[in-house]
Amino acid sequence: MRIIIAIDIIEGKCVRLTRGDFNTRKIYNEDPLEIAKQIEDSGLKYLHLVDLDGAKNKRIENLKVLETIAGNTSLTIDYGGGLRTADDLKRVFNAGARQATAGSIAVREPHLFIDWLNEFGGEKVENSDIDISGFISDFVSKGVKYTICTDISKDGMLLGPSTEIYKEILGEVKVNLIASGGISSVKDITDMKSIGCEGTIVGKAFYEGKVTLKELAQLC
């Protein structure tokens, strides 16, 4: 199973939110590259980079952070936040992202999302933050290969993941499911592996010292 470390960006700084609320922001490092290098040095390979300014303002805001991390590490980067057009996807891929995550677009403009799948391929564009099996299944039939599922009520709470939701999805849909939200311990991650998740995103648990990069690397 892939262990994916999240770096959320506001104004170029590494932050975390609780339940997606911008008023709860906590800055963990003013230099996201420093965190990215720590991830790389630990032996982990995957980074989920989220442009929170972009998500809020509906346009890419922190492309420079992506360029800096991609240019100075060998991490495989998935980028999300502020993606609205095919040109936006081209920009993030040209800046060094290997995958792009599209959440709200898949819900609000599904035809546009399908156009992206056709142009860039299901390996490059991920569907995000959808916890309805039928909805995911429909996009899988259109070519989606990976889905990030986040229970926003769990996000940043360190109270454990939504295991039953993930079990339900995996029981109904054949998809590479990436669990996100609520991870608080190594056991949570091994539980996600045992139910069949392809990957797990770890954010606040790392930043708050609940799990270490060394521990996470040993799970890969």
What does the pLDDT average to over 165-177?
92
At 169 the three-state DSSP class reads helix
Taking only the tens place, the pLDDT of each residue in 27-70 is: 999 999 999 999 999 999 999 999 999 999 999 999 999 999 99
The phi, psi pair for 22, rounded to 5°, reads: -65, -25
CATH of the domain at 96: 3.20.20.70
Handedness of CA 36, 119, 2, 152 (dihedral sign): positive
User: For the chain, how many structural domains are there in total?
Assistant: 1
**Cα 19 from chain centre:** 15
Taking only the tens place, the pLDDT of each residue in 98-142 is: 999 987 777 677 778 788 888 887 777 765 554 467 778 888 888
| pTM, two decimal places | 0.89
Angle at 148 between CA 141 and CA 133, to 5 degrees: 50
Kindly give, in sequence order, each residue whose CB lies less than 8 Å from that of residue 168, ignoring residues fewer than 6 positions away.
133
Residue 56 sits in which domain range? 2-218
